[in-house]
């Protein structure tokens, strides 16, 4: 009370703010100063000891502090803040004041300002009223918390929210509070043992250090009956280790924040619900909101909001920042989470920490849980780093245990427990993680460690024969040298697509069978070279099939003197078109809208120049006189030819414009005469142009259209500026690329021969399918909401599978149920470009993988997913195979197309918006013998995380009602697989 009167004599008035500057070893002085400020009618602005002078000055300025109180009157931080500083000892001098306080604060008066943790940037001041600090406290009857303990102990720094909560507890709780100035595992354990402490307060980082240091074993901690953990999510492996180390203690997790307190969720850690932070006493005090601001369904991921009792807190400055977090008595926690059916909350990640990698959202908390489960990882953190293709990729920093850590072994450990998208592309070994006083990892500081140049230690240069040869392969794939065997493929710029290329290159270079698992599980050059040293050579003797084993058509087709060799898919298309008069594989097209000035005739001229650069687009397939019907020879024309339709159509509707574009797309039918490339521009105004770019599928694929579109933009830009177009980049000829791909056929042929032996031709019988020999495609659209699609991806990741594999599992399970057939073959396309050079090429390289899956035994989703995952991974590693030899074995395989990264069509250099390509067809084709296909499932990831699906079906074989029924069943199965 004397200090309160001292503040009043120094000019402090009700409503003032007083900056409190005390080191962590001065808890007694700090408590006196904090309460003195209250009795003087002021609010304490609590500065952490570790705050820099700059941050302290900012906190004081934002809070409009009137003066400072410290142990010393010349405190440097008070000077930096420009404040008069009073010494606490001087304030406590008896000046004749009575025992009554100078001022009695009201419940709504400001009580304190403390800084946020600063994990994502500079700390912000959070203010709280007296009613916020005393929420839940009663005078009559007065509760005495923690009465089971004679002592409680903590090591929270002054100025943290956890420390403020403990201070209030010290004033009202039954036991005496021991405040340690800092956390040291040895000192902490000794204090517990000496005072027979019954309750301990920790944050997860302290728990990790207590366990890793061995202090929990060296000191008698048997008196501990309650462990309270707060501040951050407690990793499930750490919680399990705490329960084992202190079996007599109850472990409680408290979920709150500086902004939300006293709103919190407190629950006993339940081994039956690993990872849950509990559920509120009143379910109405918690809500999870989607991007639309509406509550999400149980199982779906949403933003976590807690209802705050008493007056709401707020930031000291910045109305915009406050309104984004504090809203109508609710506090936005900055976390993403989901609720189970019983209302228990599971944190998915900090909203700012979620890694948006391609179309996937990767949880750093999940990665950290798995890292903490490794016995030689003492501490760990995961975060995202920018990536030019994926947007961001996960990386991890680990603190090794005292007995060391083998990174290659850790990689294998992670690969067995995480999905491909979750695997850290780089692991940084460090002696400590940067943490704030609350124990949270300061990830923006940790991120700079990944950006920093390597230390002076150059690493070990490649020395062995395998290391040097493998380094050369890496350089070819990545386009940069490899200096050390410790270098990791993904850290040098690799991604999942180049991992496929590396696996193919290693197989070809070293004569082994290397799958993509080699790259993901052993990303370092050293680990891959060690694997190569022991890897068996590929079995010899996979010779091309004898002529007598090939179909007569393929035998004759391959005997022709083609100008360029045929790809596997081109062989298949020619075989399929030869089987019935009037068949055509159609074209691949993109449509988009240009919303600025466009010269259509100049665009057509630019397309001719772009086509001139790509022999595939100048290829025709002419009939061979005297050969079997349908046998054709590939001929490359020297000059380009395109089909250009340029129309002025002011006032036409979107539907009318789409019809014009589709008509141009469907005119590309004559593979013998050409042209093979089409352009349509429908201009409705000077800055409103609908554009279609199409190539016949026999000379190009979806990837090719992207390459052509990029070239078209470059050439058009040059012509518009009357400049010469830049020359094409040097690369192997199309024939060389096809030969390289086809060289893989012998080994891949053996794989698919084994996998498809005796496979069924179709999913048969299938309810609702009518007999017909004509095909005309229609499409039914359905959308999987973002929350449900995200939950499905998370379940896939938990099983080490991809979103495609999860959807394939759902689809195959539904087909098995509908047909009663448990031997199923699924067909899905992949780019077929396993070398960097092929990425830049236009051609029909796409491969259709045939995945034969055993659905017998009524497997649940998890078991069937494991079967799909293993089958798909093996097929992907053998994707370069003679598809034309195997497609006749399964002519009616079920189709699934999955576009996991769907960038909108864009003509480089021009302002463009999307124009959706209709999924229905306008040209029917014959199918002698009848159509036994099931509807094709196509799915596209959307930017908001939702999944748009189409069921494409033959309208002569299925009624719309039958397809709607199938779509409803599919939606129900997706919901079930996603957990609700």
Residue 388's pLDDT band, with cuts at 50, 70 and 90, is low
Residue 123: what pLDDT?
66
- Residue 750 and residue 683 in one domain: no
Separation CA 229–CA 207 (nearest Å): 8
- Report the percentage of the chain scoring pLDDT > 70: 94
Residue 545: what pLDDT?
42
In a domain, 347, yes or no: no
Residue 98's pLDDT band, with cuts at 50, 70 and 90, is low
Write the CA distances from 240 to 422, 433, 884, 928, 962, integer angstroms.
23, 22, 54, 64, 51
Residue 902: what pLDDT?
47
Q: Is the pLDDT of residue 615 over 80?
A: yes
Question: What are 680's two structure tokens?
Answer: 């349509």
Separation CA 915–CA 117 (nearest Å): 46
- Residue 568 and residue 688 in one domain: yes
Number of folded domains in the chain?
A: 6
Q: Answer with the residue of higher pLDDT: 338 or 508.
A: 338
Lowest pLDDT segment from 149-163, 802-816, 920-934, 936-950: 920-934
- Residue 646 and residue 758 in one domain: no
Do 509 and 469 contact (CB within 8 A), yes or no? yes
Q: Is the pLDDT of residue 232 over 80?
A: no
In a domain, 266, yes or no: no
Buried b (16+ CB within 10 A) or exposed e, 747-782: bbbbbbeebbeebbebbeebebbeeeeebbbbbbeb
Residue 74: what pLDDT?
83
Residue 488's pLDDT band, with cuts at 50, 70 and 90, is confident
Tell me whether residue 85 is exposed, middle or buried, using C-beta atoms within 10 angstroms of its C-beta: 0 to 12, 13 to 18, 19 or more. buried
> To 10 degrees, what angle do helices 364-372 and 407-415 make?
120
In a domain, 958, yes or no: yes
Residue 563: what pLDDT?
94
Question: What are 153's two structure tokens?
Answer: 């102990």
CATH number at residue 499: 1.10.1200.10
Q: Is the pLDDT of residue 132 over 60?
A: yes
- Residue 385 and residue 484 in one domain: no
* Phi, psi at 555, each rounded to 5°: -60, -45
- Could you tell me which residues come within 8 angstroms of residue 55 by beta carbon, excluding any fewer than 6 positions away? 115, 118, 122, 123
Residue 541: what pLDDT?
40
- Residue 815 and residue 960 in one domain: yes
Q: Is the pLDDT of residue 95 over 70?
A: no
CATH number at residue 592: 3.30.559.10
pLDDT digits (tens, 9 = 90+) for 546-555: 444 678 899 8
Residue 638: what pLDDT?
93
Handedness of CA 200, 202, 208, 209 (dihedral sign): negative
Residue 548: what pLDDT?
45
Q: Which residues pair with 276 in a beta bridge?
A: 346
Tell me whether residue 147 is exposed, middle or buried, using C-beta atoms within 10 angstroms of its C-beta: 0 to 12, 13 to 18, 19 or more. exposed
Do 203 and 439 contact (CB within 8 A), yes or no? yes
Residue 96: what pLDDT?
54
Nearest to residue 507, comparing CAs of 756, 738, 745, 733? 745
- Residue 732 and residue 750 in one domain: no
Last residue of a domain, one of 534, 568, 593: 534
Residue 352: what pLDDT?
78
Establish whether the linkage from the previous residue to 262 is cis, with ω within 30° of 0: yes
Query: Three-class SS of residue 76?
Result: helix
Residue 543: what pLDDT?
41
Residue 192: what pLDDT?
95
Region 452-464: mean pLDDT is 70
Residue entry with tokens 């048997």: 222
Most confident by average pLDDT, 549-553, 789-793, 850-854, 945-949: 850-854
Q: Answer with the residue of higher pLDDT: 447 or 40.
A: 40
Residue 674: what pLDDT?
85
Q: What angle do CA 568, 571, 573 make, to 5 degrees?
A: 110
Residue 121's pLDDT band, with cuts at 50, 70 and 90, is low
In a domain, 888, yes or no: yes
- Residue 77 and residue 155 in one domain: no
CB atoms within 10 A of CB 299: 20
Most confident by average pLDDT, 117-126, 484-493, 582-591, 676-685: 676-685
pLDDT digits (tens, 9 = 90+) for 637-657: 999 999 999 999 998 999 899
Separation CA 496–CA 391 (nearest Å): 13
Q: Answer with the residue of higher pLDDT: 903 or 297.
A: 297
Do 436 and 156 contact (CB within 8 A), yes or no? no
Q: Is the pLDDT of residue 359 over 60?
A: no
Do 433 and 379 contact (CB within 8 A), yes or no? yes
Region 425-436: mean pLDDT is 87
- In whole numbers, what is the pLDDT of the chain averaged over residues? 86
Q: Is the pLDDT of residue 438 over 80?
A: no
In a domain, 688, yes or no: yes
Residue 538's pLDDT band, with cuts at 50, 70 and 90, is low
Separation CA 453–CA 649 (nearest Å): 57
pLDDT digits (tens, 9 = 90+) for 136-159: 777 777 778 888 999 999 999 898
pLDDT digits (tens, 9 = 90+) for 794-818: 888 777 788 899 999 999 999 999 9
Last residue of a domain, one of 229, 255, 281: 255
DSSP assigned state of 617: G
Most confident by average pLDDT, 231-240, 287-296, 504-513, 681-690: 681-690
Region 930-943: mean pLDDT is 90
Tell me whether residue 28 is exposed, middle or buried, using C-beta atoms within 10 angstroms of its C-beta: 0 to 12, 13 to 18, 19 or more. exposed
Last residue of a domain, one of 685, 705, 736: 736
- Residue 163 and residue 99 in one domain: no
- Residue 491 and residue 364 in one domain: no
Residue 458: what pLDDT?
63
In a domain, 448, yes or no: no
pTM: 0.58
Separation CA 795–CA 864 (nearest Å): 13
Separation CA 70–CA 941 (nearest Å): 57
Do 63 and 45 contact (CB within 8 A), yes or no? yes
CATH number at residue 849: 3.30.559.30
- Residue 853 and residue 916 in one domain: yes
- Residue 778 and residue 724 in one domain: no
Region 30-44: mean pLDDT is 94
In a domain, 314, yes or no: no
Q: Answer with the residue of higher pLDDT: 260 or 575.
A: 575
In a domain, 7, yes or no: yes
Residue entry with tokens 């400072």: 68
Residue 565: what pLDDT?
93
- Residue 773 and residue 911 in one domain: yes
Establish whether the linkage from the previous residue to 484 is cis, with ω within 30° of 0: no
What is the DSSP pairing of strand 936-941 with strand 894-899? parallel
Separation CA 13–CA 42 (nearest Å): 7
Handedness of CA 99, 103, 106, 108 (dihedral sign): negative
- Could you tell me which residues come within 8 angstroms of residue 234 by beta carbon, excluding any fewer than 6 positions away? 204, 207, 253, 269
Most confident by average pLDDT, 51-65, 489-503, 554-568, 735-749: 554-568
Write the CA distances from 969 to 300, 787, 962, 964, integer angstroms.
20, 19, 11, 9
- Report the percentage of the chain scoring pLDDT > 90: 40
Tell me whether residue 305 is exposed, middle or buried, using C-beta atoms within 10 angstroms of its C-beta: 0 to 12, 13 to 18, 19 or more. buried
Separation CA 525–CA 939 (nearest Å): 36
CATH number at residue 79: 3.40.50.980
Lowest pLDDT segment from 494-498, 575-579, 694-698: 494-498
CATH number at residue 388: 3.30.300.30
Region 250-270: mean pLDDT is 87
Domain that holds residue 96: 1-105
Region 910-917: mean pLDDT is 82
> To 10 degrees, what angle do helices 465-478 and 496-510 make?
140
């Amino acid at each position: 009370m004397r200090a309160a009167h001292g503040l009043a004599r120094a000019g402090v008035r009700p409503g003032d703010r007083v900056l409190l500057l005390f080191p962590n070893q001065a808890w007694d002085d700090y408590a006196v100063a904090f309460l003195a400020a209250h009795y003087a009618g002021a609010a304490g602005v609590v500065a952490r000891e570790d705050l820099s002078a700059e941050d302290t000055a900012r906190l004081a300025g934002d809070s409009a502090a009137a003066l400072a109180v410290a142990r010393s009157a010349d405190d440097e931080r008070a000077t930096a803040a420009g404040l008069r500083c009073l010494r606490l000892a001087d304030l406590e001098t008896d000046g004749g004041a009575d025992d009554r306080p100078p001022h009695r604060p009201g419940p709504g008066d400001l009580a304190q300002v403390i800084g946020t943790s600063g994990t994502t940037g500079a700390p912000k001041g959070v203010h709280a009223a007296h009613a916020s600090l005393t929420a839940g406290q009663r005078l009559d009857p007065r509760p005495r918390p923690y009465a089971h303990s004679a002592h409680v102990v903590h090591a929270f720094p002054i100025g943290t929210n956890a420390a403020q909560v403990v201070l209030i507890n010290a004033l009202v709780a039954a036991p005496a509070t021991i405040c340690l100035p800092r956390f040291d595992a040895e000192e902490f354990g000794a204090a517990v043992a000496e005072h027979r402490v019954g309750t301990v307060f920790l944050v997860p980082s302290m728990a990790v250090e207590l366990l890793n240091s061995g202090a929990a074993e060296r000191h008698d901690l048997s008196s501990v009956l309650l462990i309270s953990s707060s501040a951050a999510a407690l990793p499930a492996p750490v919680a399990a280790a705490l329960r084992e180390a202190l079996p007599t203690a109850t472990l409680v997790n408290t979920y709150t924040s500086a902004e939300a307190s006293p709103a919190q969720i407190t629950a006993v850690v339940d081994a039956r619900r690993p990872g849950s932070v509990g559920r509120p006493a009143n379910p109405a005090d918690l809500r999870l909101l989607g991007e639309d601001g509406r509550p999400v369904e149980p199982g779906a991921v949403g933003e976590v909001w807690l209802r705050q009792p008493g007056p709401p807190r707020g930031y000291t400055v910045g109305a915009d920042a406050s309104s984004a977090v504090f809203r109508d008595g609710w506090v936005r926690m900055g976390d993403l989470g989901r609720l189970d059916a019983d209302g228990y909350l599971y944190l998915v990640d900090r909203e700012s920490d979620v890694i948006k990698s391609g179309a996937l959202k990767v949880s750093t908390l999940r990665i950290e849980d798995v890292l903490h489960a490794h016995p030689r990882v003492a501490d760990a953190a995961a975060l995202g780093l920018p990536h030019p293709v994926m947007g961001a990729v996960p990386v991890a920093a680990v603190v090794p245990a005292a007995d060391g850590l083998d990174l290659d072994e850790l990689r294998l450990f992670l690969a067995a427990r995480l999905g491909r998208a979750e695997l850290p592309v780089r692991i940084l070994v460090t002696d400590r993680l940067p943490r704030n006083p609350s124990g949270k990892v300061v990830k923006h500081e940790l991120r700079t460690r990944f950006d920093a140049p390597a230390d002076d230690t150059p690493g070990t240069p490649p020395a062995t024969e395998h290391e040097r040869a493998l380094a050369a392969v890496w350089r070819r794939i990545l386009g940069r040298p490899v200096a050390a065997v410790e270098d990791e493929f993904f850290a040098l710029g690799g991604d999942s697509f180049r991992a496929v290329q590396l696996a193919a290159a290693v197989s070809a270079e070293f004569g082994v069978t290397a799958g993509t698992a080699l790259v993901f599980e052993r990303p370092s050059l050293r680990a891959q070279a060690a694997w190569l040293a022991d890897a068996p050579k590929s079995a010899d003797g996979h010779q091309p099939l004898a002529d007598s084993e090939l179909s007569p058509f393929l035998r004759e087709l391959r005997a022709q003197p083609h100008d360029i060799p045929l790809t596997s898919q081109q062989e298949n298309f020619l075989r399929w078109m030869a089987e019935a008069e009037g068949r055509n594989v159609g074209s691949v097209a993109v449509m988009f809208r240009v919303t600025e000035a466009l010269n259509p005739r100049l665009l057509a001229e630019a397309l001719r120049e772009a086509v001139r650069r790509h022999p595939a687009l100048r290829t025709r397939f002419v009939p061979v006189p005297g050969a079997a019907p349908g046998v054709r020879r590939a001929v490359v024309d020297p000059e380009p030819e395109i089909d250009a339709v340029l129309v002025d159509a002011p006032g036409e509707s979107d539907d009318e414009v789409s019809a014009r574009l589709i008509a141009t797309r469907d005119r590309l039918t004559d593979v013998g005469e050409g042209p093979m490339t089409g352009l349509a521009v429908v201009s409705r105004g000077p800055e409103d142009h609908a554009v279609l770019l199409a190539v016949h599928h026999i000379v190009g694929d979806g990837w090719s259209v992207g390459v052509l579109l990029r070239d078209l933009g470059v050439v058009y830009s040059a012509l518009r500026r009357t400049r010469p177009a830049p020359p094409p980049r040097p690369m192997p000829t199309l024939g060389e690329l096809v030969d390289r791909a086809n060289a893989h056929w012998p080994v891949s042929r053996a794989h698919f021969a084994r996998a498809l032996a005796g496979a069924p031709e179709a999913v048969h019988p299938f309810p609702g399918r009518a007999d017909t020999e004509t095909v005309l495609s229609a499409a039914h659209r359905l959308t999987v909401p973002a929350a449900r699609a995200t939950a499905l991806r998370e379940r896939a990741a938990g099983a080490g599978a991809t979103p495609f594999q999860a959807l394939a599992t759902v689809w195959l399970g539904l087909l098995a149920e509908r047909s009663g057939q448990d031997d199923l073959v699924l067909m899905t396309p992949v780019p077929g470009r396993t070398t960097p050079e092929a990425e830049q090429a236009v051609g029909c390289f796409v491969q259709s993988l045939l995945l034969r899956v055993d659905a017998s035994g009524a497997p649940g989703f998890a078991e069937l997913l494991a079967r799909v995952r293993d089958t798909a991974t093996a097929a992907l590693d053998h994707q370069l195979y003679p598809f034309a030899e195997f497609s006749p074995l399964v002519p009616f395989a079920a189709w699934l197309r999955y576009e996991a990264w769907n960038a909108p069509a864009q003509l480089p250099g021009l302002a463009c918006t999307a124009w959706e390509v209709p999924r229905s067809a306008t040209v029917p084709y014959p199918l002698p013998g009848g159509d036994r296909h099931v509807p094709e499932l196509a799915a596209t990831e959307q930017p908001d995380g939702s999944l748009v699906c189409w069921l494409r079906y033959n309208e002569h074989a299925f009624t719309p009602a039958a397809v709607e029924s199938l779509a409803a069943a599919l939606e129900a199965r997706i919901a079930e697989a996603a957990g609700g």
